[in-house]
Amino acid sequence: MVLHSRRRALGALLAGASLLVVRPATATPDELTAALRETFGERAITRGKIRLEIPRLAENGNVVPVSVSVDSPMTQQDYVSSIHLFAEKNHLPRILEMQLGPYNGKAAISSRVRVTTSQQLMAIAVMSDGSLWSAAADIEVVSSDCGL
């Protein structure tokens, strides 16, 4: 009798485990759209003014070098207030945010980021007048342990 109870309990446990919803390790295009909307609202994003530099091929997705520069005079009247970086397939699409101002002198940042899999990265600059400018670049990742 004890054997039947254990088998029943194990069967119920396995059945319950199969009903669990597991979040995918990569984001969906809808999650990227939601992250963009959450960050920038309904404002229009225009391509241009930004240079996004990433390697075309990365052997290790855990340490991908990235550089973003924005064409801006960085004066009191016209400057970059922030730069954002998004990865369309990362578990969390928003991967970098840097605040800038007119005293930075140059609108350029460099960092290393984690990239889950081969995908497109998107950089968006918020200008002092509220306008949004973007650039995108594709990267192919050979291996990655980022996962989540």
For the chain, the domain total comes to: 1
Residue 112 within a domain = yes
Inter-CA distances, 51 with 3, 41, 68, Å: 66, 23, 6
In a domain, residue 134? The reply is yes
Does a structural domain hold residue 10?
no
14 in any annotated domain: no
Instruction: For residue 53, give the CATH number of its domain.
Output: 2.60.40.2470
Domain residues for the domain of 136 are 25-143
Which comes out higher in pLDDT, residue 23 or 127? 127
Residue 106 forms part of a structural domain: yes
Mean pLDDT confidence for 65-90: 96
- For residue 24, what pLDDT band results from cuts at 50, 70 and 90? very low
The answer as to whether 86 is a domain residue is yes
User: What integer pLDDT is reported at residue 60 of this predicted model?
Assistant: 87
Average pLDDT for residues 56-73, to the nearest whole number? 94
Q: 94 in a domain, yes or no?
A: yes
- 70: nearest Cα among 95, 96, 100, 40: 100
Q: According to the model, what pLDDT value does residue 143 have? A: 72
pLDDT at 44 over 80: yes
Q: Is residue 54 part of a domain?
A: yes
Q: Which two three-digit tokens encode residue 99?
A: 């605040």
Q: Strand 57-60 relative to strand 50-53: parallel, antiparallel, unpaired?
A: unpaired
